[in-house]
A = this chain, B = another copy of it.
Amino acid sequence: MFKTLDSCSVHIVGLGLMGGSLALALRDHVARLTAQDIEPGILIAAQETRVIDAAGSTAEADIVILATPADHIIRLIPTLELRPGALVIDLGSTKTRICDQLDRLPDGVLAVGGHPLCGLAENGYRNAIGTLYRRARFVLCETTRTTAEACALAEALVRACQAIPIWMDRTQHDHLTAITSHLPHLLSFGLMRLAMQVATEDNNLYELAAGGFDGATRLARTSESMVTGMLSTNAEQLRAVTARLRDQLDAIDALLDDPGALQAELAMIVAARRSYTADYGERLIT
């Protein structure tokens, strides 16, 4: 018979925004909740406020959740001390290289790749909220260590934090999120890097910035370790979609001297963006 989530001891590696928010969402749904973090002060705070039961370790847990940046997760997986039958789930923002590592875990250990599509521009445990995962899509990727029990437990965990599970191939995930997430981060950082250069040439630059600039550079407030993991572990797909984005800029550029054609082209894009809002709502990263 399969384990049920409420009988499991869960250990979270990394109590940042994602791990901390998951802890808050899971605390009443699991038998025991433990965690580790490189900052001792955060662990102490989480224990004192009873968000977690104790510090604990991966070796004692039925479910181990990896909630550190993607590049760190890749290095961490081969070093994990795990109980036979334990389930490993990660929250990394890229999936191919992480799932390739999960595939190599010892026989008898279970593993599912995960990526919850939620976040806030302000990272860290102090910004963690128990409702962060609510209504978010939570991608799950099969590995060679994914059994029926692993599927059931992973889905139970996703539903316990009120997110929506979506099973998807790791390569497909990395291709699609390269466009919906990684490229937007790259553009935001690239635009802010340009602004920093131009601001040294003309210090009136930021005086002329308003909501459009703020929104376009908002992702450049995201913690550099998280973004480093995201961009560096999906470099190939990111480069491919960046090349395609350059083609889009060329296509619009070619219309700049023909306002009629430009307006017709932009109208199609506005219509698609508004229809996207109508279908999916509008989410703010604040």
A83 within 8 A of B: no
One digit per residue, 1 when the CB lies within 8 angstroms of any chain B CB and 0 when it does not, for chain A 130-144 equals: 000000110100000
Contact flag A246-B246 (CB < 8 Å), given A195-B180, A257-B235: yes
Min C-beta distance of A247 to chain B, whole Å: 8
Stretch at the interface among A8-16, A18-26, A104-112, A216-224: A216-224
A273 within 8 A of B: yes
- Find chain B residues with CB under 8 A from A218 CB: 215, 282
One digit per residue, 1 when the CB lies within 8 angstroms of any chain B CB and 0 when it does not, for chain A 102-132 equals: 0000000000000001110000000000000
One digit per residue, 1 when the CB lies within 8 angstroms of any chain B CB and 0 when it does not, for chain A 254-268 equals: 001101001100111
Q: How many copies does the complex hold?
A: 2
Measured between alpha carbons, how far is A183 from B198 in the docked complex, in Å?
13
Are B137's CB and A214's CB within 8 A?
no
Measured between alpha carbons, how far is A194 from B251 in the docked complex, in Å?
11
Contact flag A256-B235 (CB < 8 Å), given A207-B166, A210-B117, A245-B191: yes
Are B235's CB and A172's CB within 8 A?
no
Q: Whose C-beta in chain B lies nearest to the C-beta of A220?
A: B273
Contact flag A223-B284 (CB < 8 Å), given A180-B208, A194-B179: no
Name A180's contact: one of B190, B209, B266, B269 (CB within 8 Å).
B209
Contact flag A207-B245 (CB < 8 Å), given A213-B181, A225-B263: no
Measured between alpha carbons, how far is A284 from B74 in the docked complex, in Å?
36
A97 within 8 A of B: no
- Find chain B residues with CB under 8 A from A208 CB: 117, 137, 139, 173, 176-177, 180-181
Are B211's CB and A284's CB within 8 A?
yes
Min C-beta distance of A230 to chain B, whole Å: 10
Measured between alpha carbons, how far is A266 from B270 in the docked complex, in Å?
31
Are A270's CB and B168's CB within 8 A?
no
Q: Quick one: which of A192-244 are within 8 Å of B by CB?
A: 192-198, 202, 204-225, 227-229, 231-232, 235, 238-239, 241-242, 244
Are B272's CB and A192's CB within 8 A?
yes
Are A242's CB and B253's CB within 8 A?
yes
Contact flag A119-B211 (CB < 8 Å), given A228-B259, A256-B235: yes
Measured between alpha carbons, how far is A267 from B192 in the docked complex, in Å?
12
Are B190's CB and A184's CB within 8 A?
no
Are A211's CB and B257's CB within 8 A?
no
- Per CB-CB distance, the 10 closest pairs between chain A and chain B, nearest first, are A184-B216, A211-B285, A224-B266, A190-B248, A235-B256, A228-B263, A211-B283, A117-B210, A180-B209, A224-B267
